[in-house]
Amino acid sequence: MRIEWEPNASIKVGLQGSETTLSANREGLLSLARIFADLAEEPPGSHIHLDAYNSLEEGSAELIVEKIE
């Protein structure tokens, strides 16, 4: 699966207690929408790892999105 980000995409994942917050600008939301749509076409068990090292803003919690049946 190829992941493409919109220019200037900004996405942050925060954790506070049992609450998870995903915050993104317009470009970040469009990028996530495309990635999730592509992931929907992959076989069950396919997943993506998003973290501060490859796509999320510094200080973000890691986010793993997995397709199930």
pLDDT at residue 3, rounded to an integer: 85
Q: Answer yes or no: is pLDDT of 2 > 90.
A: no
Give the pLDDT confidence of 13-65 residue by residue, as tens digits: 999 999 999 999 999 999 999 999 999 999 999 999 999 998 999 999 999 99
pLDDT at residue 21, rounded to an integer: 97
Dihedral, CA atoms, 58, 65, 3, 24, nearest 10 degrees? -50
pTM over 0.95: no
